[in-house]
Amino acid sequence: MPYRQFQDCFLATTGSDLHVNGKKMVGSAQLRRRGAVLQHGSILLAQEQTILPELLGDDSQVRSGSARHANLFEVTGRTVTTEELERAFKFGFESAFDAELVEGELTEGERDLAARLQKNYEVTEELAYTL
């Protein structure tokens, strides 16, 4: 079945997905429009295997008990702390881009831009009703 046909993106793995033994560990999506990139990613830490099939109404997967995805805590055999994940991401990005990431505050220009763009993303009462 083609990748886009799956309701649960964790059922399909591609060569660009992070997976363990053929089971997806990280789900990621990207949208590119007019020179901008929106990147979304999910790392499964300890998600129950039955949650997505139950939410999507796929009870055959729930009954079979087959593992649909890989959880970080199961793969590593321990609970990984937020601080460990932050350090790992920082190290990975710095290594991949040969750059040092420095934590800081938003600049005045960045705050002004966020304030100007905020109205584009506010949920109005009319929009909230349609959701």
* Three-state secondary structure call for residue 25: coil
Which residues are the active-site residues? 9
Tell me which residue has tokens 């905020």: 118
The residues pairing with 23 across neighbouring beta strands, listed in sequence order, are 20
The pLDDT assigned to 10 comes to 72
Structure tokens at 102: 């420095």
- The type of residue at 18 is L
Question: What CA–CA distance (Å, rounded) separates 85 from 78?
Answer: 13
Q: What is the pLDDT of residues 6-59, one digit of tens each?
A: 666 677 777 777 888 878 888 777 888 888 888 888 888 888 777 777 777 766
Tell me which residue has tokens 């590593």: 76
54 conformational bin, left if phi > 0, alpha if psi -120 to 50, beta if neither? alpha
Locate the domains of the chain by residue range.
3-105
Global pTM?
0.60
Q: How does residue 100 score in pLDDT terms, banded at 50, 70 and 90?
A: very high
